[in-house]
Structure 1
């Protein structure tokens, strides 16, 4: 069935918005298209994009995870302490990701098994794990990290920053699981209609638990990258990151009601948020006004998504 021009535009509205945004910013700020700035934007986007990929799994089931910023903070702090105390990059990477997955399992248990609302459950764990991060670090940043650890986020392969390569790999893996496996089909079914999915034999509790584990692990990895990038783990790290992740997913076309969306759309959404942040910084726009602009963009994205249905 051939799509009309209008349908094609609506289908690709996120990509068109990204292109238009890049053109606009490059006109008003010539620094935008420099190699160093593009590299910086892509590195910054990687942290949010990885969290947003995990968030996509959650939102596709009709859920939400407000705790990802706190998971990022505590995993980043644990990673920094491990590398300072043992010098082991392997342990500093694997243990925080396992911790992030365990926190996701904690969230998933209360949401899927105890049937708590995802918003309430993850709001509680967001507060709990932010508090634990302050306790673990005594409210102080963990710094003086090794050069090898700092290279996780600052090294490049050719001209491509390592975090960008991580993001590409994770995107490919996520795309495969969502589009080429039975798990992915079941996930979309749960998001489309959980009761029907349960009656058809799909283990909805298992699916809903797994997506939070995935989201927690993704936030844990982002915590490592964010800590490596600045060479320090702050107990305040990740504050507000859950909003950027959710915004990336929504702007990318994933329905907050679940059952509809894609990881590729989420990457486009993350790029839009990253380019917008960078453009506003280049134009020396006050951070207070930046919050307003991002809020308006999210609102417009939701309205556009509603009108396209």
Structure 2
């Protein structure tokens, strides 16, 4: 009798694992099916140039999706992504108008995103404002700041002709630089989540915040980290987008937060926290 119960429990676990695996791989499988379908429909679909174009269009949102994945793992949300990506480009543009060296301008854009993320983290942890409200408020505030700082006009990088090569160039004349950046960011993020202590803390906080606190994890620090990291990656995405547009535009990025969050959720990351698959959001957004 004991053996049959044990066997039944084992079978139930296997079924549950198979269902979870299928759900997490669904976006990738769907993407493969669509690629095969459209390849039969057009001989020009499945070629290197077209695949690189699709990957290029996915790169900016993909980097943002990786960042917000960290936030969602901890049961949080970040609605300020679209405004922050524009703020990052504006920061690069303003730095350029001040005559600062190009590397400093790029760094300013990345740090501008990180600063916004850090502020989100403080609002959520220190002021105990719900993530939805805190990030929604920052989204509207930063969008207004963008308009005030630029008078609603784009800032062009006329004095920095090499800046556009940051996103418009190609590695070995094949791989667009933004796609390369996306791959590097994904690898770094995967390493942080799987191989580092802070990565385990992120999952622990998302799985059970109270238990994580009782086990000695500094929950507030972990949450500040994930929001700051998300902002930092959004800053990188903003710099890449500014390079592609060859300008810092205050109105760009509207709706980007919804695309990034949708890619993460469709990719299998639970909005309840504690579960994530980094590769899936990239496949989901490609759909």
Give TM-score scaled by structure 1 length.
0.83
Asked whether 1:57 is paired with 2:54, we answer no
Q: Give the Å deviation of 1:163.
A: 0.9
Shift in alpha-carbon separation, 1:216–1:10, aligned structure 2, 3 A: closer
Match of 2:112 in 1: 99
Give the aligned partner of residue 49 of structure 2. Answer: 36
Q: For residue 126 of structure 1, what is the aligned residue in structure 2?
A: 139
Quote how far apart the aligned CAs of 1:10 are: 3.6
Residue number in structure 1 paired with 2:169: 155
Secondary structure (helix, strand or coil) at the match of 2:248 reads coil
1:262 aligns with 2:277: yes
The residue number in structure 1 matching 2:5 is none
1:263-278 to 2 correspondences below 5 Å = 263-272=278-287
Q: Secondary structure at the match of 2:45?
A: helix
Aligned to 1:231: 246
**Over alpha carbons, which structure has the higher Rg?**
2
- Unaligned 5+ segments in structure 2 are 1-9
SS in 1 for 2:106: helix
Report the CA distance between 1:21 and its aligned residue.
2.1
The CA deviation at 1:126 is 0.1
Which 4+ runs in 1 deviate beyond 6 A? none
CA change 1:40–1:88 in 2 (3 A) is farther
1:86 to 91, 95, 99: 99
Distance in 1, matches of 2:267 and 2:23, equals: 12
Residue of structure 2 equivalent to 1:166: 181
Look up the match of 1:115: 128
Q: Return the match for 2:261 from 227, 243, 246.
A: 246
Q: CA deviation at 1:233?
A: 1.9
- How far residue 31 of structure 1 moved from its aligned partner, in angstroms, is 4.1
Structure 1 residue runs without a partner (length 5+): 273-309
* Equivalent of 1:76 in 74, 86, 89: 89
Q: Deviations over 1:78-107 (max 9, x none)?
A: 112323442622112111111111111111
Secondary structure in 1 matching 2:38: helix
Shift of 1:115: 1.1
Shift of 1:175: 0.4
Rounded to whole Å, the distance in 1 between the matches of 2:198 and 2:207 is 14
